[in-house]
């Protein structure tokens, strides 16, 4: 039995190699890491820029000392002021007429416009009354309660999302593509008469994919979060990655056995990618809250993965027992379906 | 002419039976409809400040002031508020009562704008009572699309345009797998004929899908229609050519799908990133024109924004791409024929 199992493992590994699965995973790893390190970490939303047109007293005004938050730029004419504010974010202050004027292009959102006006008014107070409104507040007025700074947060967040996507969408496709190839070659038919247990057939595939997924998770975490910080959260991540990998691989296995050809499978895959992972991403990334999202099974897997990345243990015993139950159930169904397929094939 | 039409109808019929192609055709249209009916509020809340407070902690006037400046969510306890502020997905700023005003809670991972907001909010709140005389001009935005929505529309349209390659590449690969490609070699049909048919197939698919999607999503001035039309035609042609390449290079369905996936990522990600992150006058910016999708993307953004002068540059670049790709493809084909 075990000798057969190691042979099966070897065969599956060879299939993955020949299907360029590892090459694809490596390519994704490089692509994701480049995106995270070169682009995502640098994304920033800057403070409001204030443009000041003051033909009478520009020279008298002193530059704001450091540690203040006004970013005031002098402009030479009203036209320049209007051009500078054309982005719908910047605020213009025109002191050329009797009463000062706050000029801005609407951002399309009423509250945001109101807030920008307040900001402009604060800068105006500084200019008119020489009262620095926007200087840093004292410590007892602002309390920082989080454990991560912006860069750590972005790295953890996006790495978690990429890992989730890679495991749920791409891992699923990988197993199915191998199984379809085997189906085409008639391997399932041959297995029907081999003295190898059907469970071993499924198990070997699961093992190979689980290992490769875990390896991928380790590399992705170390490359993008750093070795020290990554090591501290790795155990939690591996548990979640393992659960996700097993569940998705089993679903992929089921679909690949059920659906007659790869074309129909890719259709199904498209539906899965669009309707199953997109809402989860939206909810996870933007904080949009939907009440129904708690009925979305993938959402819980995603939140668990996210908590693991942020080092919070929010998942509880019911979560793990449901995961274990689902995996066992999926395994049982996969087993039954495979058995039926083998009888059908003769 | 009639013969060509007959063959084309046959090809289109063949395509209709293919569920994958049908879905790629319908998907952008469905997304277009969804964007269109998406309540305006949904995309707008993303640009607002978001504040959180503990129920019954703040006086009514503070609550009113906060609601004027952003969205305010009330939580039952301080613990819940802290969890919400710490949630990495949000940029929420916690607001609490202090002896003579308000104090704020930040998680420390906010973007710069929100961090500054959190740090200056107590002062800004004190300043609200400060009466200084000023007049205010808020120019309403001219276009009906807020930034995020037009970005979504353009992403959908560009996807629809370049998905055109799916139609003919899937068709070619399907024929390869079924052995029709071999039969075609002995049929009295010229290579030119074959290329023309497959090219038209992808072109029609891409054009139709994009046109319907554009019709559903955007309302523009009549003067903007010619550049939009040219953009769609040129991109659909380029996509169709790329479909021919994919069909030529991929041995099976699986590799074909992988190629399409990689191509879509390569074509969609750079223009979005460049558009959002790199300023137009940066030296790196012209590099993004290496991808034909970038020209289509910027062109569409300009058409939606009502700027008429720049589409011509983008159209020229797109036409250049189309010409170059056609040249390469015909060279490959000529070489192949020589070998046979």
Query: How confident is the model over A179-205, as pLDDT tens digits?
Result: 888 887 887 777 777 777 778 888 888
Among residues B127, B158, B191, which one ends one of the domains? B127
Non-local (6+) Cβ contacts of B256 within 8 A are B169, B170, B173, B246, B247, B250
Among residues B127, B153, B180, which one ends one of the domains? B127
pLDDT of residue A214: 93
Q: Please tell me whether residues B244 and B180 are part of one structural domain.
A: yes
Is residue B227 in a domain?
yes
Partner residues linked to B50 by β-bridges:
B71
Is residue B133 in a domain?
no
Nearest to B292 by CA among B316, B310, B276: B316
| Smallest CA–CA distance from A100 into chain B, residue | B134
pLDDT of residue A2: 66
Cβ-defined contact of A118 to B124 (cutoff 8 Å)? yes
Q: Please tell me whether residues B107 and B159 are part of one structural domain.
A: no
Is residue B23 in a domain?
yes
Q: Please tell me whether residues B240 and B215 are part of one structural domain.
A: yes
According to DSSP H, which parts of A166-277 are helical? 171-185, 187-193, 198-225, 227-258, 262-271
| Smallest CA–CA distance from B104 into chain A, residue | A142
A131: exposed, middle or buried (C-beta count within 10 Å: 0-12, 13-18, 19+)? Answer: middle
Is residue B137 in a domain?
no
Rounded Cα–Cα distance for residues A327 and A318 (Å)? 14
Q: What is the pTM of this model?
A: 0.72
Span A51-76, average pLDDT: 66
Q: Please tell me whether residues B59 and B148 are part of one structural domain.
A: no
Contacts of A141 in chain B (CB under 8 A): 98, 103-104, 122
Is residue B120 in a domain?
yes
Q: Which domain holds residue B111?
A: 49-127
Bigger pLDDT: A256 vs A279: A256
Q: Please tell me whether residues B33 and B54 are part of one structural domain.
A: no
Domain total in chain B: 2
According to DSSP H, which parts of chain A are helical? 2-18, 21-34, 78-84, 110-129, 150-165, 171-185, 187-193, 198-225, 227-258, 262-271, 278-286, 297-309, 317-345
Q: Which of A2-6, A87-91, A326-330 has the lowest mean pLDDT?
A: A2-6
Is residue B61 in a domain?
yes
Cβ-defined contact of A101 to B67 (cutoff 8 Å)? no
How high is the mean pLDDT of chain A? 80
The minimal CB distance from B132 to the residues A45, A114, A121 is found for A121
* B281-323: pLDDT as tens digits: 667 777 778 888 888 888 888 877 766 556 678 888 888 988 9
How high is the mean pLDDT of chain B? 79
Please list, residue by residue across B117-154, b when 16 or more beta carbons sit within 10 angstroms of its beta carbon and e when fewer do. bbbbbbbbbebeeeeeebeeebeeeeeebbbebbbbbb
How close B97 comes to chain A (CA, Å)?
10
Is residue B138 in a domain?
no
pLDDT of residue A315: 64
Cβ-defined contact of A100 to B27 (cutoff 8 Å)? no
Q: Please tell me whether residues B67 and B200 are part of one structural domain.
A: no
pLDDT of residue A218: 94
Q: Please tell me whether residues B123 and B209 are part of one structural domain.
A: no
Q: Please tell me whether residues B150 and B202 are part of one structural domain.
A: yes
Q: Please tell me whether residues B280 and B187 are part of one structural domain.
A: yes
Cβ-defined contact of A142 to B127 (cutoff 8 Å)? no
Q: Please tell me whether residues B176 and B311 are part of one structural domain.
A: yes
Rounded Cα–Cα distance for residues B132 and B335 (Å)? 78
Q: Please tell me whether residues B108 and B67 are part of one structural domain.
A: yes
pLDDT of residue A215: 92
Q: List B residues 135-154 in contact with A (Cβ-Cβ < 8 A).
A: 135-141, 146-147
> Does the ipTM surpass 0.85?
no
Non-local (6+) Cβ contacts of A213 within 8 A are A167, A171, A241, A242, A244, A245
Q: What angle do CA B124, B129, B132 make, to 5 degrees?
A: 95
Percent above pLDDT 90 for chain A: 10
Q: Please tell me whether residues B218 and B275 are part of one structural domain.
A: yes
Mutate to test the interface with B, among A44, A99, A109 (most CBs of B within 10 A): A109
Among residues B74, B98, B127, which one ends one of the domains? B127
Is residue B335 in a domain?
yes
Percent above pLDDT 70 for chain A: 83
């Amino acid at each position: 039995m075990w000798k057969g199992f190691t042979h099966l493992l070897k065969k599956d590994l060879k299939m993955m190699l020949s299907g360029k699965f590892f090459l694809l995973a490596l390519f994704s790893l490089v692509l994701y890491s480049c995106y995270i390190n070169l682009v995502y970490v640098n994304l920033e939303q800057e403070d409001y820029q204030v443009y000041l047109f003051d033909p009478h007293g520009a020279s008298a005004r002193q530059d704001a000392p450091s540690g203040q938050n006004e970013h005031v730029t002098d402009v030479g004419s009203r036209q320049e002021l209007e051009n500078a504010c054309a982005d719908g974010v910047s605020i213009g202050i025109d002191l050329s007429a009797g009463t000062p004027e706050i000029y801005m292009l609407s951002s399309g959102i009423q509250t945001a416009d109101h807030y920008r006006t307040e900001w402009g008014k604060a800068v105006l107070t500084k200019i008119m009354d020489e009262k620095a409104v926007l200087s840093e507040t004292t410590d007892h007025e602002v309390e920082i309660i989080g454990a991560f700074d912006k860069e750590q947060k972005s790295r953890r967040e996006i790495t978690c999302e990429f890992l989730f996507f890679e495991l749920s969408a791409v891992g699923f496709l990988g197993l199915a593509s191998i199984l379809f190839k085997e189906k085409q070659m008639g391997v399932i038919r041959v297995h029907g008469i081999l003295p190898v247990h059907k469970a071993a057939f499924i198990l070997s595939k699961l093992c190979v994919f689980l290992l490769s997924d875990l390896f991928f998770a380790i590399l992705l975490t170390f490359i993008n979060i750093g070795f020290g910080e990554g090591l501290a959260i790795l155990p939690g991540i591996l548990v979640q990655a393992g659960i996700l990998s097993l569940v998705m691989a089993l679903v992929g296995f089921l679909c690949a056995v059920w659906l007659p050809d790869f074309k129909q499978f890719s259709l199904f895959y498209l539906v899965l990618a669009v309707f199953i992972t997109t809402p989860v991403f939206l909810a996870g990334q933007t904080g949009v809250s939907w009440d129904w999202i708690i009925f979305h099974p993938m959402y819980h897997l995603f939140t668990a993965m996210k908590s693991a990345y942020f080092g919070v243990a929010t998942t509880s015993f019911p979560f793990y027992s449901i995961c274990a139950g689902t995996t066992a159930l999926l395994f049982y169904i996969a087993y039954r379906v495979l058995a039926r397929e083998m009888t059908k094939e003769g | 002419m009639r013969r060509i039409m007959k063959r084309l109808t046959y090809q289109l019929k063949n395509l209709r039976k293919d569920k994958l192609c049908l879905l790629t055709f319908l998907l952008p249209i469905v997304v277009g409809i969804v964007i269109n009916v998406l309540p305006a509020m949904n995309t707008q809340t993303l640009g607002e400040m978001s504040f959180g407070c503990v129920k019954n902690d703040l006086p009514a006037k503070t609550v009113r002031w906060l609601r004027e400046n952003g969205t305010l969510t009330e939580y039952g306890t301080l613990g819940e508020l802290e969890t919400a502020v710490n949630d990495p997905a949000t940029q929420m700023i916690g607001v609490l009562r202090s002896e003579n005003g308000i104090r704020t809670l930040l998680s420390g991972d906010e973007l710069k704008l929100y961090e500054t907001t959190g740090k200056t909010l107590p002062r800004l709140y004190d300043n609200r009572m400060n009466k200084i005389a000023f007049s205010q001009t808020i120019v309403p935005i001219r276009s009906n699309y807020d930034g995020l929505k037009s970005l979504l529309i353009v992403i959908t349209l560009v996807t629809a345009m370049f998905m055109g390659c799916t139609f003919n590449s899937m068709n070619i690969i399907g024929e390869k797998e079924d052995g029709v490609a071999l039969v075609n070699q002995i049929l009295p049909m010229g290579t030119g004929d074959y290329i023309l048919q497959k090219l038209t197939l992808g072109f029609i698919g891409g054009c139709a899908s994009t046109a319907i999607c554009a019709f559903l999503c955007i309302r523009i001035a009549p003067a903007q229609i010619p550049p939009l039309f040219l953009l769609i035609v040129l991109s659909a042609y380029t996509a169709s050519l790329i479909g021919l390449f994919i069909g030529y290079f991929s041995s099976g369905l699986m590799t074909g799908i992988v190629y399409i996936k990689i191509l879509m990522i390569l074509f969609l990600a750079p223009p979005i990133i460049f558009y959002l992150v790199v300023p137009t006058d940066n030296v790196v910016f012209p590099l993004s024109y290496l991808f034909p999708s970038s020209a289509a993307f910027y062109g569409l953004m300009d058409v939606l924004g009502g700027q008429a002068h720049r589409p011509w540059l983008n159209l020229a670049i797109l036409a250049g791409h189309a010409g170059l790709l056609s040249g390469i493809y015909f060279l490959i084909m000529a070489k192949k024929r020589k070998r046979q």
